[in-house]
């Protein structure tokens, strides 16, 4: 492993960074290997908690972030889908242990399956993720006052960690979640249409993380608090007191994808590791740039967990030829679940010519019309080496259902970050 890391260090231009003794595979590195599990994946995608066990992914993760819980207008936490979360009877073929849910049992649905998964993997932590792109509209209102922050924090701990789920016996959901992940997109700057945004969000986010940390500590001192933070420096500065926030968090996952996408008029990289000299945009995004932005604002390196995508961003109408990169497009390429996006497991078999740039840590597919930027296991290895050699906290994948049946992306990260 040490020789592999040194070779990757040379490739990445990190020769000044020493490889720690913990690079030996038999030692315990402490790296976080996080993946999001999407609550709605059980429907059209037909992806279940059991699939993380079947693919082997569960044994290669340290954390699962369950997406998403929402914030109500009255400053309380609530489930976006109680049926998926705790009401749906899970049949034997979809159950982690092969045992079907029985009528009248205390807890059903994804939460019971997560509890079963944790029983098989005692070191695995599961966090409830609050917010998301479509679930962040009410954060600003909820945390505007001290009273609101206290109410929201108490409600989230009561619902998700104490397990006091509506319609069930008190504490029926206890023991599923080991902490809370905040995914407010974004304090103080634009997110999904209709989100409430205030200049006060920046200070209030810090205050809320402090309140939530105190509530979690009072409930269970081992309970964890994390947050998902943006890539763009403008959004960092508009919404986050970085040094203070990181003091309240066990770690933060930082956006390492959606750096470019079909909303752009020209093609680009979804999650490039380093800046691309060919990039014609006035602001150049990369994972490395984002990491440096957080370090420069006072974030501890070991608390920075780098987000990696298990999906690609795609454009259509790219007819300029060459390798297709940084070329005009007419719009979003068609995708199975939405325009402009496609899962890794589907992209890996898509026809076209593939291009790889080791200097930027990128891969893309171009067929003369469609252009797709995505990560494969080789890119994941390169990013994992960067994380390790820079002394960062680990990796986070959005989202586990987009990996293939053999957990190829998850396994690549695990090879380096175990």
Q: What is the pLDDT of residues 347-364, one digit of tens each?
A: 999 999 999 999 999 999
Select from 238, 88, 74, 253 the least CA-distant residue to 179.
253
- What pLDDT band is residue 341 in, cutting at 50, 70 and 90? very high
Residue 284 scores a pLDDT above 90: yes
- SS3 assignment for 53-75: HHCCCHHHCCEEEEEEEEECCCC
**In CATH, what number is assigned to the domain containing residue 304?**
3.20.20.80
Mark residue 317 as left, alpha or beta (left: phi above 0; alpha: psi -120 to 50; beta: remaining).
left
Q: Of 53, 185, 211, 342, which one is the catalytic site residue?
A: 185
pLDDT, position 44: 97
| Structure confidence by residue, pLDDT tens digits, 150-209 | 999 999 999 999 999 999 999 999 999 999 999 999 999 999 999 999 999 999 999 999
Residue 24 scores a pLDDT above 80: no
| Structure confidence by residue, pLDDT tens digits, 349-403 | 999 999 999 999 999 999 999 999 999 999 999 999 999 999 999 999 999 999 9
Question: Is the separation of the CB atoms in 239 and 140 below 8 Å?
Answer: no
- Residue 108 belongs to some domain of the structure: yes
Indicate the average pLDDT of the chain: 94
State the Cα angle at 386 between 380 and 389, rounded to 5°.
135
| Structure confidence by residue, pLDDT tens digits, 230-239 | 999 999 999 9
Question: Is the separation of the CB atoms in 115 and 176 below 8 Å?
Answer: yes
Residue 77 scores a pLDDT above 80: yes
- Residue 317 belongs to some domain of the structure: no
Stated as kind and residue range, the H or E segment containing 365 is: strand 362-366
pTM here is: 0.94
- Residue 344 belongs to some domain of the structure: no
Backbone angles phi, psi at 381, to 5 degrees: -60, -40
- Residue 102 belongs to some domain of the structure: yes
- Residue 368 belongs to some domain of the structure: no
Select from 286, 187, 177 the least CA-distant residue to 224.
177
The average pLDDT across 33-60 equals 98
| In the chain, % of residues over pLDDT 70 | 93
Cα separation, 292 vs 377, whole angstroms: 24
pLDDT, position 418: 93
Select from 378, 345, 259, 364 the least CA-distant residue to 41.
345
- Residue 366 belongs to some domain of the structure: no
3-state DSSP helix/strand/coil percent for the chain, to nearest 5?
35, 20, 45
Strand ranges (DSSP E) for 76-197? 77-79, 125-131, 179-183
- Coil, strand, or helix at residue 363? strand
Backbone angles phi, psi at 92, to 5 degrees: -60, -40
Cα separation, 299 vs 94, whole angstroms: 41
Cα separation, 353 vs 357, whole angstroms: 14
- Residue 287 belongs to some domain of the structure: yes
Residues spanned by the domain of 123: 27-309+377-417
Cis omega (within 30 of 0) for bond into 399: yes
Domains contained in the chain, number: 1
Task: Count the neighbouring beta carbons within 10 Å of the beta carbon of residue 243.
Answer: 13
The average pLDDT across 115-125 equals 98
- What pLDDT band is residue 302 in, cutting at 50, 70 and 90? very high
Select from 51, 27, 56, 24 the least CA-distant residue to 37.
51
pLDDT, position 389: 98
pLDDT, position 2: 53
22 is catalytic: no
Which range (11-20, 108-117, 374-383, 392-401) has the least confidence? Answer: 11-20
What tokens were used for 351? Answer: 């026809």
- Residue 326 belongs to some domain of the structure: no
């Amino acid at each position: 492993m040490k020789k592999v890391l040194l070779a990757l260090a040379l490739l990445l231009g990190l020769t000044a960074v020493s490889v720690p003794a913990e690079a030996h595979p038999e030692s315990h590195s402490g790296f976080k290997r996080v993946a999001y599990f999407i609550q709605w994946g059980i429907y059209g995608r037909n992806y279940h908690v059991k699939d993380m066990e079947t693919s082997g992914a569960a044994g290669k993760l340290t954390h699962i972030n369950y997406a998403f819980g929402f914030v109500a207008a009255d400053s309380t936490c609530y489930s976006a889908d109680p049926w998926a979360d705790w009401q749906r009877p899970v049949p034997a073929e979809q159950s982690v242990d092969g045992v079907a849910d029985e009528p009248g049992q205390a807890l059903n649905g994804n939460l019971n399956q997560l509890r079963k998964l944790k029983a098989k993997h005692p070191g695995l932590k599961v966090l409830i993720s609050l917010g998301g792109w479509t679930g962040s509209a009410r954060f600003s209102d909820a945390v505007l006052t001290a009273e609101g922050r206290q109410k929201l924090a108490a409600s989230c701990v009561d619902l998700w960690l104490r397990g006091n789920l509506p319609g069930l016996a008190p504490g029926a959901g206890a023991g599923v979640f080991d902490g809370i992940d905040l995914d407010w997109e974004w304090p103080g700057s634009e997110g999904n249409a209709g989100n409430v945004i205030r200049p006060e969000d920046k200070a209030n986010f810090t205050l809320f993380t402090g309140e939530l940390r105190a509530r979690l500590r009072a409930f269970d001192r081992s309970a964890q608090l994390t947050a998902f933070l943006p890539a763009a420096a403008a959004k960092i500065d508009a919404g986050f007191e970085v040094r203070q926030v990181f003091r309240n968090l066990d770690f933060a996952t930082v956006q390492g994808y959606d750096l470019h996408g079909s909303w752009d008029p020209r093609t680009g990289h979804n999650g490039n590791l380093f800046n691309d000299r060919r990039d014609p945009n006035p602001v150049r995004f990369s994972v490395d740039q984002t990491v440096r932005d957080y370090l420069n604002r006072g974030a501890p390196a070991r608390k920075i967990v780098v987000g990696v995508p298990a999906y690609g961003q795609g454009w259509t109408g790219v007819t300029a030829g060459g390798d297709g990169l940084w070329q005009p497009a007419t719009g979003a390429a068609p995708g199975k679940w939405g325009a402009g996006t496609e899962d890794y497991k589907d992209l890996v078999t898509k026809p076209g010519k593939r291009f790889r740039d080791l200097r930027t840590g990128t891969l893309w597919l171009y067929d003369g019309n469609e252009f797709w930027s995505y990560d494969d296991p080789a890119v994941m290895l390169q990013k994992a080496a960067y994380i390790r050699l820079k002394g960062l906290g680990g990796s986070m994948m959005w989202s586990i259902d987009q990996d293939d049946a053999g957990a190829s992306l998850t396994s690549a990260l695990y090879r380096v970050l175990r």
